[in-house]
Amino acid sequence: MCGIVGAVAKSDVLPLLLDGLKRLEYRGYDSAGIAVINDRNQISRTRSAGKIAELEKALSCSGAMPGTTGIAHTRWATHGPPTEINAHPHMSGQNLALVCNGIIENHEMLRQAQRRNGIEFASETDTEVIVNEIQQHIDRGLDLLAAVMETVAVLEGAYAIGVVSTNEPNRLVGARRGSPLVVGIGEGESYIASDMSALISVTRDFFILENGDIVDIHDGNIAIVDQSGRPQFRDRKTSRLTAEAIALGEHRHYMAKEIHEQGAAIANTLDNRITGTRLLEECFGAGAAAIFDETRSIQIIACGTSYYAGLVARHWFEEFGVPCQVEIASEFHSRHHAVPDGCLTVTLSQSGETIDTLSALALTRELGYMNSLTICNVPESSLVRESDLVLMTHAGPEIGVASTKAFTTQLTALRLLVIALGRRFGMTETDEARLIKELRELPAKVEAALTLEPAIMEIAGQFSDKHHALFLGRGAHYPIALEGALKLKEISYIHAEAYPAGELKHGPLALVDNEMPVISVAPNDRLLNKLKGNIEEVRARGGKLIVFADPHARIYDQENLQVIHVAPVDSSIAPIIFAIPLQMLAYHVGLIKGTDIDKPRNLAKSVTVE
């Protein structure tokens, strides 16, 4: 889940590589490095532990790095701690440098074989075996492309690599299996990167590599071949990403920007998909109606925040009689499956590159699940390419590691799917008209929820010295409590746990004292009275509660109970609205604690390792 970028350019490549790395920093940020083939045909390499800012400091100390061919990397450590020694690019001797995003599963076996050949290792990474392997093939007379082809044939695992050699200074070879890699087409220049955003300042035109592709950028030409050297033809794609969409603008952090973009993002997700009181089913793509006609149940698969969106949606589907299972993608492999007839797989993912979700999708195909639909935010992602049906969340780029607008737009998109499938399970036109009306009102309700920020900022101050917090919710709001706890953990490093409110008395109530903040969401729904009982159970034990409540829920400030009223909202879309104050709470606690909000420690935006 690192980020890689490389180029064969007309002028010095260093600024381009650094710009690309900064745009990829969301993929990992515990160390970084750059290697350039300099004007004396030597590899200049600079690496540093820490974020790209540390690399820039190291570069300013090491002096100019002229050269038109180079590769760069920002790391999320897997094998070996985030030290300079383990930072990429890795080299074999003085002439070959390589960057890799992925994990080489058979690295131990390759390492032993290479040691037997007298090779010494400089790092603790799994990547170093790749560069050594390539070097061995070059030593026996192969050129860079042929050496990479031989090497990828023995690699197991998921990876995307970029390699340069002083033997062929105007050449850059890339390869992918599992991890993403795109090829940027410039004017007399060519590039590779983990995603399009890395190259947005230099090109909008791309080839998206498929698994098993190897790209050879050589003397101004781009050739894509498979492992045996057979040419592969990939469509040229033009990115619609704009520099403005990924700019921070007036905000201090991307997370704040993305929280505040949610009204517009939801409106974009609905745009051209509803008309009058009806859903336009064509938005799911050609063939969707036939697939929905055959659907008897759905299996949602996702990770992290996207998984919580799935848990909310289960309540929505089941309300209209659509049987729905939801599973964490990384657990999908861990059990035997009795595959139901007519079961549609629905994957949820912001990035579309989460390897756990991708491999669970692959497993559903092996097992014979019917068809697949993805709800995803990145148009050119692997998940979009590998699914039968696609419903894009038009949230715009989400850069903050903590997912916010991706979550609320996923929920919005899931409401559209509820209608599409609900129609087949007896949803009436009156029901549909009600759901559409609620969706139309959503952007304004989101804007209203955002006005709670000043009140939330005050409350956030109560958290900065706390080590733990509990989040409570019931029904479709239990996943909202889970999401609130995840946001707080990620951004403030406060240990937070979420419970269905009725579960407290079965154990966790033992944790409650006046040092344990307890946060609850209280929509005005049929579970309200039971929730109120649970709130009283906490108060009776001296617990300090903060409750985000619908005014019609009639919950008011009392001793040990602070209430923030969220503008009234229909109970069915309330989860979308109640998520927003919890996002803002996490953000402001993180701000007070001074954490790195957009790049919390140990995490990465796009999780491309299993």
Q: Could you give the residue numbers annotated as active site?
A: 2, 605
What's the token pair of residue 221? 């030409």
* Residues 454-493 contacting ligand M6R, CB under 6 A: 486, 490
Least distance between ligand M6R and beta carbon 390 (Å): 15
CA distance 352 to 288: 20
599 DSSP 8-state letter = S
- Percentage helix, strand, coil for the chain under 3-state DSSP, each rounded to 5: 40, 25, 35
Residue 404 or 524 having the CB closest to ligand M6R? 404
Q: Which is nearer to ligand M6R, 398 or 438 (CB)?
A: 398
What's the Cα-to-Cα distance from 312 to each of 316, 444, 478, 497, rounded to whole Å? 7, 21, 8, 17
Q: Which residues pair with 95 in a beta bridge?
A: none
Distance CA 571, CA 459 (A): 25
CA-based nearest residue to 4, from 240, 173, 256, 221: 173
Nearer to ligand M6R, 401 or 518 (CB): 401
- With CB under 6 A as the rule, give the number of residues binding ligand M6R: 15
In whole angstroms, how close is the CB of 557 to ligand M6R at the nearest point? Answer: 31
Q: Distance between CA 413 and CA 285 in Å, rounded?
A: 14
Q: For residue 442, which amino acid is it?
A: L
At its nearest, how many Å lie between ligand M6R and the CB of residue 90? 27
Stretch that binds ligand M6R, among 190-198, 283-291, 345-353, 550-558 (CB under 6 A): 345-353
Residue nearest to ligand M6R (CB): 304
Alpha-carbon span 358 to 352, nearest angstrom: 8
Indicate which single residue of 305, 345, 374, 393 sits in contact with ligand M6R (rule: CB under 6 A): 305
Q: Which of 101, 151, 350, 371 binds ligand M6R (CB under 6 A)?
A: 350
Regarding 357 and contact with ligand M6R (CB under 6 A), the answer is: yes
When the beta carbons of 199 and 401 are compared against ligand M6R, the nearer one is 401
Residue 304 binds ligand M6R (CB under 6 A): yes
Alpha-carbon distance 397 to 366, whole Å? 32
Q: Tell me which residue has tokens 């049987």.
A: 323
Which of the ranges 104-112, 203-211, 225-233, 397-405 carries the binding residues for ligand M6R, by CB under 6 A?
A: 397-405
| 498 lies in the binding site for ligand M6R (CB under 6 A) | no
Nearest alpha carbon to residue 317 among 340, 343, 291: 343
443 binds ligand M6R per the rule CB under 6 A: no
> Which residue type is seen at 482?
L
Which single residue is written with the structure tokens 């912001």? 350
To ligand M6R, the closest distance from the beta carbon of 76 in angstroms equals: 12
d(CA 361, CA 37): 41
**Of positions 299, 351, 534, 572, contacts ligand M6R by CB under 6 A:** 351
Beta carbon of residue 230, minimum distance to ligand M6R (angstroms, whole number): 32
Helix (H) or strand (E) run with residue 454 in it: helix 453-460
Residue from the set 262, 354, 412, 608 that interacts with ligand M6R by CB under 6 A: 354
User: Should residue 306 be labelled a site residue for ligand M6R when binding is judged by CB under 6 A?
Assistant: yes
Amino acid identity, residue 340?
P
Please report, as residue ranges, which positions from 88 to 127 form the binding site for ligand M6R (by CB under 6 A): none
- Phi first, then psi, for residue 275 (nearest 5°) are -145, 130
User: What whole-number distance in Å separates Cα of residue 336 and Cα of residue 547?
Assistant: 41
Residues of span 135-194 touching ligand M6R by CB under 6 A: none
The correct pick among 36, 152, 161, 402 for binding ligand M6R (CB under 6 A) is: 402
From 479, 301, 295, 272, select the one nearest 383 (Cα to Cα). Answer: 301
Closest approach of ligand M6R to the CB of residue 413, in Å: 13
Rg (C-alpha) for the chain, rounded Å, is 25
Specify the residue for token string 């974020």: 51
Residues 542-571 that bind ligand M6R (CB under 6 A): none
What DSSP state is assigned to residue 157? E
Query: 107: part of which helix (H) or strand (E)?
Result: helix 107-116
β 182-185/190-193 pair status = antiparallel
User: Per CB under 6 A, which region of 349-357, 452-460, 494-502, 542-550 contacts ligand M6R?
Assistant: 349-357
Q: Cβ closer to ligand M6R: 8 or 361?
A: 361
Stretch that binds ligand M6R, among 157-165, 246-254, 256-264, 299-307 (CB under 6 A): 299-307
Q: CB 575 → ligand M6R: shortest distance, Å? A: 16
**What's the one-letter identity of residue 194?**
S
**Is 608 near ligand M6R (CB under 6 A)?**
no
Q: Contact with ligand M6R (CB under 6 A): which of 270, 607, 608, 609?
A: 607
Q: Shortest Cβ distance from residue 307 to ligand M6R (Å)?
A: 7
Residue 16 or 401: the one with the smaller Cβ distance to ligand M6R is 401
Question: By CB under 6 A, is residue 364 in contact with ligand M6R?
Answer: no
CB of 85 to ligand M6R, least distance (A): 28
518-550 exposure pattern, b = at least 16 Cβ within 10 A, e = fewer: bbbbbbbbebbeebbebbebbbebebbbbbbbb
Least distance CB 381 / ligand M6R (angstroms): 9
209 touches 164 (CB < 8 A):
no
Q: Which residues bind ligand M6R (CB under 6 A)?
A: 303-306, 349-351, 354, 357, 401-403, 486, 490, 607
